[in-house]
């Protein structure tokens, strides 16, 4: 089984590269952002709670997203592997993920971290806001807050995977194809 964490700040290209990795390796995509937006669209209790955080650019509480991931893994027990996109976003989530995988005899192979400078991120997010319909992409203050949340709560997740020798930094600036090639190389060299 090939289980990968695709990591990086908002706007680093996780969504774009996930699609390509899924197509190449036949993985199931678990994006907490996508799952949360679907909950909001369906106006579920979980969606209504999550929206209050997402609208501000804040992280949704750990227990909410951790529960969501466990049920998605169990719904896809025949999968060849999973790509975790936008999760884990805190070290508590990373520890919870390891625990839920170990309980199912699974583990993370590597954490691919797309590295992109802040100015480039803001440019990409505002640009995505023109077409994505996502309100959290349209307001510079909310974008700043998402990047602040990333730096404070999410960046420490790098240390968590470094300690397990699973952290693989990838330059996230360049052509989509070149970045994809670097990701594949990192997955296949072990
Ligand atoms: P981005 O492009 O900003 O990385 P995502 O679609 O991954 O977008 O996430 C959008 C929002 O959903 C985040 O700003 C956050 O509020 C919420 N969210 C997504 N995943 C998580 C998570 N693992 N933990 C907490 N909040 C999350």
Residue 54: give its domain's CATH number: 3.40.50.300
Q: What is the pLDDT of residue 139?
A: 93
For the stretch 29-45, pLDDT in tens is: 999 999 999 999 999 99
190 located within any domain: no
Direct distance between the N- and C-terminal alpha carbons of the chain, in angstroms, rounded to an integer:
15
- Residues 90-135 pLDDT 10s: 999 999 999 999 999 999 999 999 999 999 999 999 999 999 989 8
> What's this model's pTM, rounded to 2 decimal places?
0.93
**Domain assignment of residue 64, yes or no:** yes
CA distance 23 to 19: 6
Phi-psi region of 165 (alpha: psi -120 to 50; beta: other; left: phi over 0): left
> Is the pLDDT assigned to residue 18 strictly greater than 80?
yes
Expressed as residue numbers, the domain containing 85 is 2-185
Burial of 79 from C-beta contacts in 10 A (0-12 / 13-18 / 19+): middle
pLDDT in the model for residue 119: 95
Instruction: Tell me which residues have their CB closer than 6 angstroms to ligand 1.
Output: 10-11, 32-33, 36, 53-54, 57-60, 65, 86-87, 89, 93, 136, 146
Residue 45 is predicted with a pLDDT of: 95
Q: How many domains does the chain have?
A: 1
Asked if residues 161 and 97 have their Cβ atoms less than 8 Å apart, the reply is no
pLDDT in tens, 37-82: 999 999 999 999 999 999 999 999 999 999 999 999 999 989 999 9
Cα of 146 from ligand 1 centre, angstroms: 9
* Residue 154 CA, ligand 1 centroid: distance in Å: 11
C-alpha of residue 31 to centroid of ligand 1, in Å:
9
Whether residue 190 has pLDDT greater than 90: no
- What are the beta bridge partners of residue 29? 83
pLDDT for position 13: 95
Query: How far is residue 45's CA from residue 50's CA, in Å, rounded to a whole number?
Result: 9
Ligand 1 atom closest to the Cα of residue 8 is 4
189 φψ region: left (φ > 0), alpha (ψ -120 to 50), beta (else): beta
Q: Which residues are catalytic?
A: 14, 89, 128, 134, 146
49 C-beta neighbours (distance < 10 Å), count: 15
């Amino acid at each position: 089984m090939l289980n990968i964490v695709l990591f990086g700040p908002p706007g680093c290209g996780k969504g774009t590269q996930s699609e390509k990795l899924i197509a190449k390796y036949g993985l199931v995509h678990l994006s907490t952002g996508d799952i949360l937006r679907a909950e909001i669209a369906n106006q579920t209790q979980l969606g209504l709670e999550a929206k209050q955080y997402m609208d501000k650019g804040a992280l949704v509480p750990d227990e909410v997203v951790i529960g969501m991931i466990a049920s998605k893994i169990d719904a896809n027990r025949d999968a060849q592997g999973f790509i975790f996109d936008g999760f884990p976003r805190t070290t508590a989530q990373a520890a919870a993920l390891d625990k839920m995988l170990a309980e199912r005899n699974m583990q993370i192979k590597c954490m691919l971290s797309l590295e992109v400078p802040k100015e480039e991120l803001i440019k990409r997010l505002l640009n995505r806001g023109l077409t994505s319909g996502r309100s959290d992409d349209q307001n510079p203050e909310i974008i700043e807050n998402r990047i602040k949340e990333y730096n404070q709560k999410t960046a420490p997740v790098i240390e968590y995977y470094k300690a397990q020798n699973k952290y693989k930094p990838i330059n996230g600036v360049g052509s989509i194809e070149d970045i994809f090639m670097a990701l594949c190389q990192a997955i296949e060299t072990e």
